Amino acid sequence: MSWSATDSNLAAGHARFHLDNQRVPDFHDFFNAVSPHPQSRPGLVSFDVRYAAKGAASHLRDATFGFEGLFAPATVHIDFEARDLPSGVVYRSVSGGQRVVGGGMGHEQNGAFFA
């Protein structure tokens, strides 16, 4: 996946993870996907995940795991579409009424971070 799929500006309080028509295998269900010989069909996914900071950024560090960065709590909105190519069946997220339990954005020592 290209870095161009991401855009992040912690100082401005926004970030985005966006991709259109990414080819992926469609395994139909969880049990098939984890089976020893899963069957798949070609599929496409598109998504747009937008983050908006809802508080001040804080510096976090975990010396045990070598994790360090500047992070802010954030609201998150997701628009998602998956398409099974052989059948043309499309699954779409419902844009309105999403409820997010928690989200965050920031910069970890290895790059941008979204959750």
Reported confidence tier of residue 14, pLDDT bands at 50, 70, 90: very high
Q: Structure tokens of 31?
A: 């049990």
97: left (phi over 0), alpha (psi -120 to 50) or beta: left
| pLDDT recorded at residue 27 | 93
Q: Where are the domains of the chain?
A: 3-114
Residue 93 predicted with pLDDT over 90 = yes
| pLDDT recorded at residue 18 | 95
Range scoring the smallest mean pLDDT among 59-63, 85-89, 104-108, 111-115: 111-115
Mean pLDDT calculated for residue range 85-110:
89
Reported confidence tier of residue 4, pLDDT bands at 50, 70, 90: confident
Q: Structure tokens of 92?
A: 């779409």
The full 3-state SS of 27-87, as one line of letters, equals CCCHHHHCCCCCCCEEEEEEEEEEEEECCCCEEEEECCCCEEEEEEEEEEEEEEEEEECCC
Closest CA to 85 of 7, 10, 22: 22
pLDDT in tens, 19-57: 999 999 999 899 999 999 999 999 999 999 999 999 999
- Alpha-carbon distance 44 to 49, whole Å? 17
| pLDDT recorded at residue 98 | 87
Residue 2 predicted with pLDDT over 80 = no
